[in-house]
Structure 1
Amino acid sequence: MTTRTNTPGTLGTARGTALYLGAVLGPGVLALPHLAAAAAGPAAIIAWTGLLALAIPVAATFAALATRWPDAGGVATFTRAAFGDRAAAACGWWFYSVIPIGAAAAALVGAAYIAAPAGLGHTATLTIAAALITTAFAANHIGLRLSGTAQLILMALLIALLTTAITTAAPHAHTANLTPFAPHGTTGILSAAAVLLFAFSGWEAASHLSGEFTNPKRQLPRVTALALAIVAAIYLGLATTTTAVLGPDAATRPTPLADLLAYGFGPNARTITAAAAAVLCLGAVNTFIAGASRLGAALARDGAMPAPLAKGHQPGRTPHRSLALLATLTAIVLTAAVTWQLDLDQLMRATSASLAAVTTLACAAAVRLLHGRARATALTATTVTAAISTALAWYLLIPALVGAAALTYLHLHQGKPRPDTLQDTEPERAPAPPLAQGAP
C-alpha cells in the first residue's frame, strides 16, 4: 500500500502564478474571439463578461479546496472527500482523458498561426503541431521546476504582447461595429458561452499542482487572486477591442489577434502573432500536462487507474509513466483529428464538455465540504457552470462515456489492495475517506 508523503513542494508564488496563468490564458485567445463572434456577434461580449463573473466563484472555490487538500489528485481528491470512490474516479478520468483532446486542439491552433506567415502547407502545419506537443512533454519529463521557470518567462512575454495588441488597436474602435448587437439572439449568446468554457477551464487543471507549492495555505489564495486579476483584464480588454475594432469581420476572420496587432506592428503583425501562438500553446499545454500527469499518478496510487502509473506521485517527483501514457493518447487524438478532419470548434467544444463536468462535480463537492461563505460561493459556481454546460448538447455524451469507463474499471478492481487514508492537511477537519473503499 502507498501513503502520501510530506515531501515539500518546489513552487513559489511567482512560478505558481505563471503556471496558473498558463492553464487559463491559453491558445483560446487566438481562436475563441472569432468563434464566439461567429456564434453571437457583438453580443459575444456578454458571454465573455458572464464567464468572467463565473470565474470568480469557481477560482475561489478551487483555491479553498486546494488549500485544505494540497494533493496531486486535485479534483479527484476533492470529489472523493465529498462523494466517495465512484464519483472521484469518474471526475479524475474526465480530466485525465480530456487533456489529449485539449492538447491537440491547442497545438493545431498554434501551428496554424505559426505556419501562416511563412506560407507553409498542411503537412508542415501538422509537423509544427507535433513539435509543440513534444516540447511540452519534454519539459515536463525534465521536471516541474524547469517547466515553472520557463512558464514565468513565457507568461511575462505573453502579457506584454496582449497588452500591446489591446492598447494599439483600441483607438480604432467604433460604436457602429456593435450593431446589430445580438444577431442570433439569446441562443447565440449561450452557444458562445459554451465554446468559451474552453478559455475559463484552467482552475481545475492548476489544482493538481497544489501539492507542489512550498506553502499551499499561504500561497494558493495569493496566486489565485493574482491570476484571476490578470486573466480578467486581458480577456475583457481583448473581447471588447476585438468587437469594437473589427466589427462584423470578427466573425469571419480566423486570426483576430493578428488583425489587432496589425494596428501596432503593421506588416510584421503576423510574424509576431506566430511567436505569440508558440508562447500561448506551450504555456497552456505545459500546465495541463503537468497537472494531468500528477492526477494520473495519484489516481493509480489510490486504485482508480492501473498501479504502475502511480510511480512518481509524490510532490517534487516526476510521474514519467503517466506522462508517457498521456503522450501516447495525445498522439492518437491528433492523428484522429487529422484523419477525420475535425474542425477547431468541434475539438474545443469536446474539451469544454469534459472540463465543465469536472468543474461542476468538483464545485458540488465543495458545497458539501466547505462552510459559511465558502459554501455559498461553491453553490453559485456549481449552479451556473451546470446551467451553461447544457448548451454543449450532445458533446456531454463524452464525459458520460468516460465516466462509465471509470466506474467499470473501479468495479473490476474492487478486490485489489486498498491505499491508506489520505488525511486533510488541516488538523481540525475530519480526515477524507480513502479513494478505493466504495461509494459512501
Structure 2
Amino acid sequence: MATTAGLTRTSPAVIGGSLTVAQGAALSVGAVLGTGVITLPALAAAVAGPASLLAWAALVLLSVPLASTFAALGARHPDGGGVSTYVRRAFGERAAGAVGWCFFFAIPVGAPPASMMAGGYVADVVGGGRTTTVVVAAGLILGTGAMNLAGLRFSGRVQLALASVLALLMTATVAVALPHGSTASLTPFAPNGWAATGTAAAVLVWGFAGWEAVASLAGDYRDPRRDVPRATGIAVVVVGVLYLGLATTSVLVLGPATGRSQAPLSDLMAISLGEQARVVTAVVAVLLTIGAMNAYFAGGSRLGAALARDGALPRLLARGGDAGEVPRRSIALVTVTSALSLVVAVVRGLGLTPLMLLATGCFTLVYVLGTASALRLLPRGTVAWWTALVAFVSVTALLVVNGVHALWALGLAVLSLGYRSGVRGWERRPSAGP
C-alpha cells in the first residue's frame, strides 16, 4: 500500500490554488511510495526470480501512460473527488458506486499483509518468527482502529515526512549495498518460467497504487493545465528510479535469498552497515506502516460513510460522516473486517501474496474504470486520448493476469450494482395501507 495511498489521501491542505510543481511532485511521490516496497522485492523475486526485474520495469513503464491519463483528467476537470468523479461523469452513479466498493473493501484484505510486512521486520530483530509477525500485525490493526475511533490521525505533513524517510532509506540502501552485488545472481533468470513474470507484475501493483491521487490534487495547483503534467512527470521519474534501483540491488546482492527474505531492506543494510542497521530499519518499517494504515482507515471510513449517505451502503454507516465528525461505525466495520481477515489468513496459513493479489485486483479494476472514463471524457483522437487507450489496455491486461484473484474485485463491483438496484427497488415500493 502506498504511504498515502488509498481511498481519500490525507495530504497537506492547499487552498486557493497555491500548490507548486515541486510540492505537487513531492505529494505524488508520497502517494505512490509505500510500505509495500519494504517487502515487495522479496515477494516478486519469490514468484519470478530475477525475471521479476522485468515486472518492475513493466510497472514503471505503465506508470507513464497511467499517471499521464489521470494528470490529463485532473488538468481538464479539477475536482477533489478524483477517480469516482470521472467515473460518475462518464458512466453514472452505479459505476461510481462500484469504484467506491472496490476501494472500501480492498482495506480488509489489504490491512493484514501491510501489517504483517512490518511484523516481519520486527521478528527479524527480536525473533519469534510468524508468532511475532502476527502479534505485531494484530496490534497495528487494532491500534490503528482505536486511533481513528478516538479521532486521532496523522497530518498530511507527517504522512509526507514518512514518505520522505522511505525515499531516503531506499536511496541510502541502494548506495551502500549495490557495490556488494554480483551479476551471477541473475542466473537462472526465470526459474519459475516466463509466465510467473505476469503474476509478479500483478503483485507489484500494490507498490504502484496511488497515481489516481494526481487527479485529486489537480484543483490545488496554481495552473492545473500547465503544472499537473510537469509535477506528474517528475514524480514518475523519481518513483521509477527508486523502485528499479532497490529491486535491482536486492536481486544482485541477495541473490536467491531475496525470495526467502522477510526483511529485504534490513538484509541489504546489514550487509554494508552491520547488524545494528536492522533495528533502525524495523523502526522505520513500523512507523511507515502506521502512517499508511492510518491513512487507509481514516480515508476508508469516510468513504464508507459517504457511500452510506448516498445509498450505496447501509444507511447506519453514514453517521459521523459530516465534516468535523468521526464516522465511528464505519471505522469499526473497517477494523473488525480487517482483524477477521487477519484471523482467516493465520488459520488458513496464507502468505502475503494471495491477500495482496486480492487487494491489487481491486486497485486494478479501479484503474480500468478510471482509464475507461478517460476515453469518454478526453477529446477523442488527441495525444491524451491515445495515452488513455494505452493505459486502459495495459491495466485491463493486468486485471486478466491477476487471475482468479480478480474475481474478488469483479464480485464487489457486481454486488455494488445489485445492492444499489435492490435499495432503489425497495424505496420505490408503495407503502402498505392501513
TM-score range, shorter chain: 0.7 to 0.9
Q: Deviations over 1:292-338 (max 9, x none)?
A: 33432332343322334445656777655433332232222222222
How big is the shift at 1:231?
A: 1.7
Return the match for 1:397 from 389, 400, 407.
Answer: 407
TM-score by length of 1: 0.82
Return the match for 1:185 from 184, 187, 193.
Answer: 193
The match for 1:351 is 359
Q: Deviations over 1:153-180 (max 9, x none)?
A: 2122222211111100111122222222
- Work out the CA distance in 1 between the residues paired with 2:244 and 2:13: 29
- Work out the CA distance in 2 between the residues paired with 1:298 and 1:56: 31
The match for 2:13 is 11
- Work out the CA distance in 2 between the residues paired with 1:356 and 1:336: 24
2:264 is equivalent to residue 256 of structure 1 = yes
Q: In 2, are the aligned partners of 1:139 and 1:146 still within 8 Å (CA)? A: no
Unaligned stretches of 5+ in structure 1? Answer: 1-8, 419-440
Return the match for 2:101 from 89, 93, 116.
Answer: 93
The match for 1:427 is none
Task: Supply the AA of the counterpart residue of 1:181.
Answer: F
Task: Supply the AA of the counterpart residue of 1:71.
Answer: G
Task: Supply the AA of the counterpart residue of 1:178.
Answer: L
TM-score by length of 2: 0.83
How big is the shift at 1:117?
A: 0.7
Unaligned stretches of 5+ in structure 2? Answer: 1-10, 429-434
The match for 1:306 is 314
Q: Deviations over 1:337-389 (max 9, x none)?
A: 22322211111111111211111111111111112222222111110111122
Return the match for 1:409 from 398, 412, 419.
Answer: 419
- Work out the CA distance in 2 between the residues paired with 1:308 and 1:326: 14
- Work out the CA distance in 2 between the residues paired with 1:17 and 1:102: 26
Structure 2 CA distance for partners of 1:122 and 1:40, relative to 1, 3 Å: closer
Partner of 1:156, secondary structure, is helix
Structure 2 CA distance for partners of 1:311 and 1:289, relative to 1, 3 Å: same
Q: In 1, are the aligned partners of 2:56 and 2:244 still within 8 Å (CA)? A: yes
Partner of 1:62, secondary structure, is helix
2:297 is equivalent to residue 289 of structure 1 = yes
2:238 is equivalent to residue 230 of structure 1 = yes
Aligned length: 408
Structure 2 CA distance for partners of 1:227 and 1:34, relative to 1, 3 Å: same
The 10-residue stretch of structure 1 (23-32 or 406-415) with the greater mean CA deviation from structure 2: 23-32
Q: In 2, are the aligned partners of 1:147 and 1:286 still within 8 Å (CA)? A: no
The match for 1:385 is 395
Structure 2 CA distance for partners of 1:127 and 1:183, relative to 1, 3 Å: closer
How big is the shift at 1:53?
A: 0.7
2:107 is equivalent to residue 105 of structure 1 = no
Q: Deviations over 1:113-168 (max 9, x none)?
A: 11331124655433322332345445656769843122122122222211111100
Task: Supply the AA of the counterpart residue of 1:175.
Answer: T
- Work out the CA distance in 1 between the residues paired with 2:192 and 2:159: 39
The match for 1:421 is none
Alignment of 1:58-73 (within 5 A): 58-67=66-75, 68-72=77-81
Alignment of 1:142-181 (within 5 A): 146-181=154-189
Task: Supply the AA of the counterpart residue of 1:89.
Answer: G
Structure 2 CA distance for partners of 1:318 and 1:349, relative to 1, 3 Å: same
Q: In 1, are the aligned partners of 2:78 and 2:224 still within 8 Å (CA)? A: no
Q: In 2, are the aligned partners of 1:208 and 1:291 still within 8 Å (CA)? A: no
Q: Deviations over 1:176-219 (max 9, x none)?
A: 22222223332121121121121112234x36964995879487
The match for 1:424 is none
Partner of 2:194, secondary structure, is helix
Partner of 1:322, secondary structure, is helix
The 10-residue stretch of structure 1 (383-392 or 409-418) with the greater mean CA deviation from structure 2: 409-418
Q: In 2, are the aligned partners of 1:155 and 1:283 still within 8 Å (CA)? A: no
Task: Supply the AA of the counterpart residue of 1:382.
Answer: F
Q: Deviations over 1:65-86 (max 9, x none)?
A: 34525234x4332212111122
How big is the shift at 1:33?
A: 0.9
- Work out the CA distance in 2 between the residues paired with 1:98 and 1:397: 13
- Work out the CA distance in 2 between the residues paired with 1:216 and 1:115: 48
- Work out the CA distance in 1 between the residues paired with 2:261 and 2:133: 19
Q: In 2, are the aligned partners of 1:23 and 1:284 still within 8 Å (CA)? A: no
Amino-acid identity (%): 44
Q: In 1, are the aligned partners of 2:177 and 2:272 still within 8 Å (CA)? A: yes
2:77 is equivalent to residue 75 of structure 1 = no
Alignment of 1:204-243 (within 5 A): 204=212, 206=213, 210=217, 217=224, 224-243=232-251
Task: Supply the AA of the counterpart residue of 1:245.
Answer: V
- Work out the CA distance in 2 between the residues paired with 1:388 and 1:214: 31
Structure 2 CA distance for partners of 1:103 and 1:24, relative to 1, 3 Å: farther
- Work out the CA distance in 2 between the residues paired with 1:370 and 1:315: 32
Q: In 2, are the aligned partners of 1:18 and 1:148 still within 8 Å (CA)? A: no
